[in-house]
Amino acid sequence: MSSIIGNNINSAIMSGQFGLQQAFKGMNQASLNIAQRSAQTHVAENGPGQVLANASLNNLANIKNTLPQSANSPTSDLLSLKLNSMNAQASAKVLDKAFDTVGTIIDTLT
């Protein structure tokens, strides 16, 4: 019976950790997309002279081309950020409950 409980607890902990990893990965990507879009807008609005002092237009174009292009809209990225934040909170609750359960089992067995 204790191996069944142990396997269920391990499964809950692994699920919680996986959920947190995926949520943070999604939040990181959405944040990166927002930052890149903001930087590209700044370059477009202010021109190369203000963004990179004494930089030639050719060098500025090369720098701009090194930034990854996002296919998503700002709204999509903001929604993704919120969704992944909620997933992280849910996964943290799973881990919290799993650790509470482990504590209860240890208290019961000792």
Percent of residues, the chain, with pLDDT higher than 70: 71
Domain ranges across the chain = 2-109
Report the C-alpha gap between 49 and 31 in whole angstroms: 27
Nearest in space to 32 (alpha carbons), one of 68, 84, 64: 68
Confidence of residue 55 (pLDDT cuts 50, 70, 90): very low
Query: pLDDT digits over 17-37, tens only?
Result: 999 999 999 999 999 999 888
